[in-house]
Each structure stands twice: as C-alpha cells, then as structure tokens.
C-alpha cells in the first residue's frame, strides 16, 4: 500500500482536514476512487505534454517511466502492451550490430575513451520521428536518404514504429506505462463512515513529488461534485500558485 502523501489514505485524510469535516461519510468511496483515477489519467497526459520542461516533471512522472531496448524486426519495433505515451526521442546505436552492451576497455583513459566507446558500440543517435508521407519521400531520396547516423521513423500504429535504415537491430525507447485502474477498498462503520481496507486496495503509484497537483485537483473535483463553492474557490487559490 502507498503510505506516502499520494496514497489513498493520506489523500482522503488531507481532504477531510481541509474541509474541516469530522466524518468522511459525506464523500462516497466510489466517488473518491473515481476522482483519483480521473486525476491520474489527466495528470499523466499533461506531464507528457510538457516533458522534459523541468526536473520536477520527471520526478512526478517517475513511477510511470520505462526505458526499454526493443528489438527491430524487418524495420519495425513493437512497443510493449503497457505502453501509453512516448517520451523524448527513440535512440539507436550508431553501430547497427551493437548488442546494447557498452563494455569499455580497462582502464579507461582520455586517450582511449573515444576509441573505446566506438569499439563497444554504445554511441547513440536520435531517431527522427516524421509523418508517414515524409518517411516515404526520404526513403526514396537519392541524396537525403536515412543513414545510421540519421535514422528516421514513423508511427505505423498506436504501438508500432517503422524505422529506416531497416537493418537496425535495436531501438532504445523511453515511454510512460499505462496506469492501473486504482481501487479504494474499504470497510464501513456502523455510523456510515469508512476506512481503507489494504487487502482489497490497489493503491496509487504516485510519489510525494506529485502531491501538490493531485491534491489540488482532488479538491477541485470534490468542490464541483459537492457544489461546495468555498472548496472550489480555495482550489482556485491553490492552482494559482502551483505549476
């Protein structure tokens, strides 16, 4: 269970504290769960748009970031099932035969550094992602065609990228994984209040780095749902000073 600031339990406690409520029965657990899931999806999408604007963006996205070396087959790479959004630019090794292992000579000195890197095959270059029509034009070009140090690619599907040169063997891709559908498991008290049940909870993966925008969004959604004007106004005040 996520015991940090962004775990279900702490978020609920924080909201009730801000609202100065003695009980949580006013806020149905299924609504609270839906709000957190909605915020998660929206926040990931917004962070992906501004990546890598600042280190704080990377810190917030960190639980969802994956980096994989994906084999290329006949000029295509198939992104993992958990893939959600691409981050940055895919990279390939300048040496198309590289196995992805960068074993530099020992000892590494300023004199042998460049030769060692070239020999080990771990020099990377960006794959420029272009529209499909531009990809077709460049691959037909007699003077501006793709090379190992100027590779190109295009999304041929939601989770598939076609690359050129076609004999590249592996592509390094950084992406965000698909978020889970988080579940707030709970048990009820005789007075209709409730408390978290760790055994049935699928908690959030957010870390403390994301607490401010998540809590502000939670207050905003609660204010809209409950039609609490004071909470909505308070949320707007917070938003003006966050992100």
Model pLDDT for residues 184-202, shown as the tens digit of each residue: 999 999 999 999 999 999 9
Q: Which two tokens stand for residue 23?
A: 């009980």
Reported as a pLDDT band with limits 50, 70 and 90, residue 226 is confident
Average pLDDT, stretch 216-234? 78
| pLDDT for the residue 241 | 46
Q: Does residue 3 lie in a domain region?
A: no
Average pLDDT, stretch 75-84? 96
- Which residue in the block uniquely carries the two structure tokens 């630019």? 89
Reported as a pLDDT band with limits 50, 70 and 90, residue 110 is low
> Is residue 183 over pLDDT 50?
yes
| pLDDT for the residue 53 | 84
Same domain? For 127 and 163 the reply is yes
Q: Does residue 168 lie in a domain region?
A: yes
Same domain? For 28 and 78 the reply is no
Same domain? For 170 and 70 the reply is yes
Same domain? For 15 and 102 the reply is no
174 φ/ψ angles, rounded to the nearest 5 degrees? -105, 130
Same domain? For 150 and 120 the reply is yes
Average pLDDT, the chain: 86
Same domain? For 144 and 209 the reply is no
Average pLDDT, stretch 121-144? 90
- Which residue in the block uniquely carries the two structure tokens 């609660």? 222
Q: Where is the domain boundary, 160, 177, 194?
A: 177
The residues facing 121 across adjacent strands are none
Average pLDDT, stretch 6-35? 90
> Is residue 2 over pLDDT 50?
yes
Q: Where is the domain boundary, 150, 177, 204?
A: 177
Instruction: Give percent of the chain with pLDDT exceeding 90.
Output: 64
What is the domain range of residue 235?
Answer: 8-60+180-239
Q: Which two tokens stand for residue 240?
A: 């003006």
Reported as a pLDDT band with limits 50, 70 and 90, residue 242 is very low
Q: Does residue 35 lie in a domain region?
A: yes
Neighbours of 103 (CB within 10 A): 11
Same domain? For 129 and 190 the reply is no
State the DSSP H helix or E strand holding residue 86, giving kind and residue range, or none if neither. Answer: strand 83-86
CA pair distance 211, 215, nearest whole angstrom? 6
Q: Does residue 220 lie in a domain region?
A: yes
pTM: 0.84
Same domain? For 51 and 75 the reply is no
CA pair distance 7, 198, nearest whole angstrom? 11
Distance of CA 115 to the CA centre of its chain: 35
Q: Does residue 2 lie in a domain region?
A: no
What's the total number of domains in the chain?
2
Q: Does residue 1 lie in a domain region?
A: no
DSSP reduced 3-state for 172:
strand
> Is residue 172 over pLDDT 60?
yes
> Is residue 18 over pLDDT 90?
no
Average pLDDT, stretch 31-47? 94
Same domain? For 126 and 220 the reply is no
Could you read off the pLDDT of 43-75 as tens digits, one per residue? 999 999 999 888 899 999 999 999 998 999 999
Instruction: Give percent of the chain with pLDDT exceeding 70.
Output: 82
Same domain? For 72 and 156 the reply is yes
Q: Where is the domain boundary, 152, 177, 202?
A: 177
Same domain? For 162 and 186 the reply is no
Q: Does residue 131 lie in a domain region?
A: yes
Q: How many residues are listed for the chain in this entry? A: 243
Average pLDDT, stretch 144-159? 94
Same domain? For 76 and 118 the reply is yes
Residue with the bigger pLDDT between 33 and 108: it is 33
> Is residue 96 over pLDDT 50?
yes
């Amino acid at each position: 269970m996520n015991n940090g600031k962004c775990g279900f339990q702490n978020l609920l406690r924080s909201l009730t504290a801000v609202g100065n409520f003695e009980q949580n029965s006013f806020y149905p657990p299924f609504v609270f769960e839906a709000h957190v899931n909605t915020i998660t999806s929206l926040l990931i999408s917004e962070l992906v748009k501004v990546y890598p604007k600042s280190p704080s963006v990377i810190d917030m996205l960190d639980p969802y970031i994956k980096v994989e070396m994906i084999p290329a087959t006949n000029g295509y790479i198939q992104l993992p099932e958990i893939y959600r959004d691409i981050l940055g630019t895919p990279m390939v090794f300048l040496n198309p035969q590289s196995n992805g292992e960068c074993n530099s000579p020992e000892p590494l000195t300023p004199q042998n550094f460049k030769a060692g890197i070239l020999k080990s095959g771990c020099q990377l270059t960006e794959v420029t992602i272009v529209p499909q029509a531009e990809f077709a034009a460049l691959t037909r070009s007699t003077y501006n065609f793709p090379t190992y140090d100027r590779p190109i690619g295009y999304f041929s599907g939601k989770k598939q990228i076609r690359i050129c040169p076609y004999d590249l063997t592996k592509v390094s891709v950084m992406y965000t994984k698909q978020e889970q559908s988080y579940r707030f498991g709970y048990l009820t008290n005789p007075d209709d209040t409730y408390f978290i049940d760790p055994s049935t909870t699928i908690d959030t993966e957010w870390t403390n780095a994301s607490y401010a925008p998540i809590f502000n969004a939670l207050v905003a959604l609660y204010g809209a749902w409950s039609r609490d004007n004071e909470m909505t106004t308070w949320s707007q005040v917070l938003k003006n000073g966050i992100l």
